[in-house]
Amino acid sequence: MISVWAGLDFLSALVAGFIAIRIRLEPAAELTSHTVLGHLEKAAPLTSIIYLLVFSVYLVLFTRLYGLYRSPEGRSGLNEQRLTFQATLTAGLMLCGTLYVMKEYAVSRIVVALTIVITMAFLMIRRAVERKMMQRRFLQGRETRNVMIVGHGRVAHALRNHLQALPHMGFRFMGFVSLEAAAGDSENSEIIGNVRNCVALARSLFVDEIYFSTPADKGTVIGVVDEAREHGIEVRVVPDLYDGLAWNAPVEFIGQFPTIPLHQRDFPRGAFLIKRVLDVMLSTLALVVTAPLMLVIALMIRMDSPGPIFYRAARIGRKGRTFTCLKFRTMVANADKLKDSLAHKNERDGILFKMTNDPRITRVGSRLRKYSLDELPQFFNVLMGDMSLVGPRPPLASEVEKYDLAHLKRLDVLPGITGLWQVEARQDPSFDSYISLDTAYVENWNILLDLRILARTIGVVLGGTGS
């Protein structure tokens, strides 16, 4: 399946080709008075279109060979632009060679040259904009990659300092791991653990990458790689430290620091881009459609009981990031302070708290909860990128503190307004059911699953199964 990025490159080449054909075959004065589609039959002979498709295929193939569809965090913007230039130029030379071999002398060389130049401009500008937006998210603390370094010597500190000097690349240093002593035996406060519990510690800190900066026993490294693979954590080593451990692995630069990947996750960036686009489009539509209803709800809350209209709660999002979750207030203003006195009436197993006829819930609040209308403001959280339409519900920090290591998997994705648990077992008091359904969602996620959950959520909301 062609990725979203490959599809965009393919489309860019097609658009560039049609523009080149128009520039070549239409007077410049007419370019502003006619559409490209309106003159497609006149301006784009069948032969030119066929070779334009050939060029688009070449472009995707060479862009893939140059590694431009891999995650861009490990290369600089200048290097990415250079690779884009090389991939487009190579695809153009292949097109010229194909035309020569096929003796297609009727195809305009000016059109070919213009297509190559315009395609190159499209791709370089698009990738520059994408990188700028990505760096802005990194500087805001979103979508960063947490890093743990095994070793605490000169190379380790140099790598740490290098990562911290490049905040726009999205790396966040979490600590050193010692090969010799446990964290408690060292005076260095940045040493947070021992290599024996390296992966478990990495999982608890939502670490994405483990770097070996000092030589270690090959069996130890292989053991860490095998365990990290089970948890989806990438492992890298500094070159020249582990001869023979990664003979065919390419050297990848993190800034100016060379590393060798021993294990990398296959992260579906294209699919998550589609998910984000759907989140923004549908949440914007939902806010526009429900704006009059939200205004009525705000007035009802204000008239029903004293206190603010919105309830703002600190919740834990993807990879342990704290954000402010918005809801319409459905309880009395001091509800959080009253929770401890009602703890003995909890009807849920384990960490979650829920009770029938909760005295803290207001009259209006009970109606809002029944039809999940109190969660409408969370569409703003989706627009800000803190939440998604579909995903595990965002937990409280006090709940996360009680999680087992396996429970942290539900924090690998953005929390959602609705999720698999909401449509499958909303009234099930079991914490194990809550966790297992969220874990199943994370492990089996795809766009079709999200659409199915959204469709079923409509029935759940209309049925008034909330509480």
The separation between the first and the last C-alpha atoms of the chain, rounded to the nearest angstrom, is 42
How many residues make up the chain in this entry?
467
CA–CA distance from 382 to each of 7, 133, 317, 394, 451 (Å)? 26, 17, 12, 12, 16
466 in Cβ contact with 373 (< 8 Å): no
Instruction: Write out pLDDT tens, residues 315-328.
Output: 999 888 899 999 99
322-328 vs 252-254, strand pairing mode: unpaired
Mark which of 265, 282, 302 sits at the end of a domain.
265
Q: Is the pTM of this model over 0.75?
A: no
Strand, helix or coil for residue 417: strand
Rg (CA), the chain: 27
Residues 95 and 237 in one domain: no
Mark which of 209, 244, 265 sits at the end of a domain.
265
383 in Cβ contact with 288 (< 8 Å): no
Q: What are phi and psi of 213, to 5 degrees?
A: -105, 0
Specify if 308 maps to a domain.
yes
Specify if 120 maps to a domain.
yes
Specify if 295 maps to a domain.
yes
Residues 108 and 194 in one domain: no
Specify if 76 maps to a domain.
yes
Domain that holds residue 357: 270-462
Residues 115 and 243 in one domain: no
- Paired tokens of 332: 């009395």
| CA 161-162-165 angle, 5° bins | 85
| C-alpha of 399 from chain center | 24
Residue 156 sits in a domain whose CATH number is 3.40.50.720
For residue 223, give every residue at least 6 positions away whose Cβ sits within 8 Å of its Cβ, in sequence order, or none.
none
pLDDT at 28 over 60: no
pLDDT range class, residue 17, cuts 50, 70, 90: confident
Q: How many domains does the chain have?
A: 3
Residues 260 and 363 in one domain: no
pLDDT at 15 over 50: yes
Mark which of 265, 280, 304 sits at the end of a domain.
265
Specify if 187 maps to a domain.
yes
Residues 33 and 52 in one domain: yes
Instruction: Write out pLDDT tens, residues 157-178.
Output: 888 887 887 777 788 899 999 8
Q: How far apart are CA 18 and CA 20, in angstroms?
A: 5
pLDDT at 287 over 90: yes
Element counts in the chain: helices (H) and strands (E): 16, 11
Instruction: Write out pLDDT tens, residues 181-211.
Output: 555 455 567 888 888 888 888 988 889 899 8
CA–CA distance from 405 to each of 160, 195, 201 (Å)? 26, 17, 9
Specify if 467 maps to a domain.
no
pLDDT range class, residue 388, cuts 50, 70, 90: very high
